[in-house]
Structure 1
Amino acid sequence: MAVSSAEAARVAAALSIDRLGPYLRSADGDIGKAVCLYEWNLAVSGAFYEALGILEVVLRNALSEQLIARHGSRRGHWYDDPFRVLSDQAHADIAAARERIAKLGRVELPGRVIAELNFGFWKFLLAKRYEATMWTSHLRHAFPNLQPQSRAVVYRAVDQLHTLRNRVAHHEPIHERDLANDMLVLFRVLDWIDADIRSWAIDHSRLRPLIAGRPR
């Protein structure tokens, strides 16, 4: 929706020209068009945040289920890492998650630890270093609809979405990305995990009309 020149000037002053810089460049220096593009960026970022939230929860639950199966009947939980397979960074992430739970005065439960581990933690479980130790035996089963079951394919897709998620979370411009491709990759990963959840996510997503409505 078009904005008046006075409104555009007020918004530009409040946000700063530096903040509007990427949008001004895309709008050939037109402040009014830049503000419209900024507004659209906010809206499509919000829609991606919603869809990425679904993806993150579904992904971590699917991977955690396989890690629980791998842990079996041993004492403790998979994140205690009795096999000593996880990286030092993964151990640091787990320790930080447990510390956050303790600081909140909450009882440490597996579900709470899993929820405290960030998107990056789950992405790196799909890295090449774990192909022989975790992917081949268990993690690939988190993606029953992926054929052939290629760890590298999953990692590239999740890495792309992790980058997008970080830009959205930090209120960065995403208007120059191929957002239609980002959307397809997001729904593709959900489909690899659960086709019904993919359909549900699509039904509740605002992405398609927003992406199609990008200001010219």
Structure 2
Amino acid sequence: MPADQPDTAPIAAALSPERLAPYLRATGGDPSAAVRLYEWNLAVSGALYEALGILEVVLRNALSTQLAAHHGTLTGYWYDDPLDVLSDLAHQDIAAARRRVQKLRRPETSGRVVAELSFGFWKFLLAKRYEATLWTGCLRHAFPNLQPQSRAVVYRALDELHTVRNRIAHHEPIHSRDVTTDTLTIYRLLDWMDADVRAWAVSLSRLRPIIAARPS
């Protein structure tokens, strides 16, 4: 073993056989190669999570802006749902977000509640059940560069990214995914909302060199 490379045996043991198993399968049972692939998975997961973080913030703000405009001069905030459009699950998510804000012992503001709502919450606002109630008259305006404006196209893209986001959040392998396609999906969604923001996200991204450095 080269002097500048650590002994991977204790690292493999510390990670646990169960955690390392997918990497061993991908590398033909070579423990050293499995650890190298694990390291790459960590790097690409971190870089992809950064890009997903930009998307999540931009998405929730864009959707919230349109929901607030749709709410207009009705009492309260859009998430009070005076028109009774949102599902029971959405109401539960909103109530939980408000409780988290209260636990911070800070005044409740719409911005703080919006920030506490999950990626899944925003994705489900673009589900088929809201096609007539929210998409057509409201949420499609969050994607001015999407032509033709198809709710299903946006939902499918977000659904794919929701899956990979959850895998990253739970430290699961993503090395078998087409990470380049995931990256392009993030950029495509950003472009549908704001081309300048997409360009900014691309300029910040560490993904291209990390993807290129994937162990063979």
The corresponding residue for 2:144 is: 144
What is the CA distance between 1:3 and its match in structure 2? 9.2
The corresponding residue for 1:165 is: 165
The corresponding residue for 1:108 is: 108
TM-score, normalised via structure 1 length: 0.97
The corresponding residue for 1:189 is: 189
Question: Equivalents in 1 of 2:212, 2:117: separation in Å?
Answer: 34
Q: Is the 8 A contact 1:3 1:32 kept in 2?
A: no
SS in 2 for 1:175: coil
What is the CA distance between 1:168 and its match in structure 2? 0.6
What is the CA distance between 1:4 and its match in structure 2? 7.9
TM-score, normalised via structure 2 length: 0.97
The corresponding residue for 2:117 is: 117
The corresponding residue for 1:214 is: 214
Question: Equivalents in 1 of 2:43, 2:5: separation in Å?
Answer: 21
What is the CA distance between 1:103 and its match in structure 2? 1.4
The corresponding residue for 1:7 is: 7
Question: Equivalents in 2 of 1:125, 1:138: separation in Å?
Answer: 11
Deviates more, 1:92-101 or 1:6-15: 6-15
| Count, aligned residues | 215
What is the CA distance between 1:17 and its match in structure 2? 1.2
The corresponding residue for 2:37 is: 37
The corresponding residue for 2:92 is: 92
Taking every aligned residue pair, what percent have the same amino acid on both sides? Answer: 70
The Cα offsets for residues 81-132 of structure 1, whole Å up to 9 and x where unpaired, read as 0010100000000000001111121110000000000000000000000000
What is the CA distance between 1:15 and its match in structure 2? 0.6
Q: Which runs of 5+ in 1 are unaligned?
A: none
SS in 1 for 2:7: helix
Q: Which amino acid aligns with 1:41?
A: N
Q: Which amino acid aligns with 1:50?
A: E
Q: Which runs of 5+ in 2 are unaligned?
A: none
Question: Equivalents in 1 of 2:168, 2:35: separation in Å?
Answer: 18
The corresponding residue for 1:127 is: 127
